[in-house]
Amino acid sequence: MSELEQLRDTARARIAAAENADALEALRVEYLGKQGSVSALLKTLGKMTPEQRQEEGPKIQSLRAAVADAIAERKTALDNAALEQQLASETMDLSLPAPQSPRGSVHPVSQVMDELAEIFADMGFAVATGPEIEDDWHNFTALNMPESHPARAMHDTFYFPDESADGGKMLLRTHTSPVQVRTMKAQGAPVRIIAPGRVYRSDSDATHTPMFHQIEGLVIDKNIHLGHLKWTLETFLKAFFERDDIVLRLRPSYFPFTEPSVEVDVGFAIENGRRVLGGSGDAPGHAWMELLGSGMVNARVLEMSGLDPDEYQGFAFGVGVDRLAMLKYGMDDLRAFFDGDHRWLDHYGFASFDQPTLSAGVGATA
Ligand code: PHE
């Protein structure tokens, strides 16, 4: 066996035995590197006679190719082995359930809005919406609060620096009542809608947040009177709180957009440190709690909304959705509603498949 063949066989044997990528790289440098032994042999070609070179050249080249092939082959084998090992150590069973199954939940505000939509749909109410960025005319003027009206000051309004196209101020709506105006202007009469949504006032403590939710109710038709309002509120509150013993007290009040205006109180008792609605507020151990504002829609509002007050009358009411949620589901700090803390959401949230229906009871169990 020639010297070159010997060199080739030794190289092949050592390369095949290389245990890892580092060992293989060391062998590559040893044979094929700049100072490597095969490289040194290639350099000797320069000093040979043409005849010698013709004879030795191909042998040395084939030695170099044999070593390079052996290295490439070993590298592939090592790579494959490494991959196999990684696959074996990192196996996972994708059919297993996640150890702690991540679960979204329906926010109590959404849940309560769904419950309200269900209750009012049963009474023939449609759901209407309006913009949260509102103009001063819809939020105030058309609701019988002209500029400089003192009631405007009570609303702690967030105003935008820019004016609207017609020169009015733009603001974040302070209540859902502008949807009354928008709905009457858009569809005329009769009207039977609820308008749930976000409203904004510059106010913040345990029971007030700068953004909160209201639901507006509006019924316009011929011959609508206060009796209809009382029946509607009673029916809605009994269905919502799932109790037949809800008792309401209507008190004269003042809102610029209703005349007469009626503040509605509801009787409750304290049970286990929680307010539980039910019974007359005058009964022993009971008291009245202010729940919502309402009244007969002011004739001026009907006019500004394009209706003839001699032909149509109606009632409106507005109630805090977050407050309804707190009373029904027992949260005591409104700010937590908007913290996005998943522990709170896990506790107070609702299963997404639990659609409120009147037949199954609108109060889903979380
Ligand atoms: N918009 C009133 C408020 O935010 C509530 C209300 C609505 C009162 C409709 C009467 C009629 O306080």
Q: Average pLDDT of 160-181?
A: 89
Is the Cβ–Cβ distance between 288 and 263 less than 8 Å?
no
Place of tokens 């196209």: 165
Q: Average pLDDT of 31-54?
A: 90
| Best of 201, 214, 255 for a ligand 1 pocket test (most atoms within 8 Å of beta carbon) | 255
Strand order in the sheet with 133-135: 133-135, 169-172, 159-163
pLDDT-derived band of residue 164, with 50, 70 and 90 as boundaries? confident
Q: Give the pLDDT confidence score for residue 207 in this predicted structure.
A: 80
Q: What is the mean pLDDT of the chain?
A: 92
**pTM of this prediction?**
0.71
Measured by CA distance, the residue closest to atom 2 of ligand 1 is 318
pLDDT-derived band of residue 365, with 50, 70 and 90 as boundaries? low
The whole-angstrom separation of Cα 251 and Cα 263 is: 5
Residue 203 has pLDDT above 90, yes or no: no
The pLDDT tens digits for 118-138 are 999 999 999 999 999 999 999
Q: What is the 3-state secondary structure (H, E, C) of the chain?
A: CCHHHHHHHHHHHHHHHCCCHHHHHHHHHHHHCCCCHHHHHHHHHHHCCHHHHHHHHHHHHHHHHHHHHHHHHHHHHHHHHHHHHHHHHCCCCCCCCCCCCCCCCECHHHHHHHHHHHHHHHCCCEECCCCCEEEHHHHCHHHCCCCCCHHHHCCCCCEEEEECCCCCEEEECCCCCHHHHHHHHHHCCCEEEEEEEEEECCCCECCECCEEEEEEEEEEECCCCHHHHHHHHHHHHHHHHCCCCECEEEEEEEECCEEEEEEEEEEEEEECCEEEECECCCCCCEEEEEEEEEEEECHHHHHHCCCCCCCCEEEEEEEEHHHHHHHHHCCCCHHHHHCCCHHHHHHHCECCCCCCECCCECCCCC
Q: Average pLDDT of 234-241?
A: 96
The whole-angstrom separation of Cα 336 and Cα 203 is: 15
Asked which of 160-164, 188-192, 321-325 is least confident by mean pLDDT, the reply is: 160-164
Going from the Cα of 177 to the center of ligand 1, the distance in angstroms, rounded, reads 6
Question: CB within 6 Å of ligand 1 — which residues?
Answer: 175, 177, 255, 258, 293-295, 316-318
Going from the Cα of 284 to the center of ligand 1, the distance in angstroms, rounded, reads 31
Asked which of 28-42, 53-67, 156-170, 291-305 is least confident by mean pLDDT, the reply is: 156-170
Residue 364 has pLDDT above 60, yes or no: no
Of ligand 1's listed atoms, the one at least distance from the Cα of 293 is 8
Cα angle 71, 77, 79 (rounded to 5 degrees) comes to: 100
Residue 361 has pLDDT above 70, yes or no: no
Residue 90 has pLDDT above 50, yes or no: yes
The pLDDT tens digits for 263-287 are 999 999 998 888 899 999 999 999 9
- In 3D space, the residue among 217, 220, 215 whose CA is nearest the CA of residue 191 turns out to be 220
Going from the Cα of 136 to the center of ligand 1, the distance in angstroms, rounded, reads 16
The whole-angstrom separation of Cα 310 and Cα 185 is: 17
Q: Give the pLDDT confidence score for residue 366 in this predicted structure.
A: 44
Q: Is the dihedral of CA 357, 335, 251, 328 positive or negative?
A: positive
Q: Is the dihedral of CA 151, 199, 281, 228 positive or negative?
A: positive
Measured by CA distance, the residue closest to atom 6 of ligand 1 is 318
Q: Is 225 exposed, middle or buried (0-12, 13-18, 19+ CB in 10 A)?
A: exposed
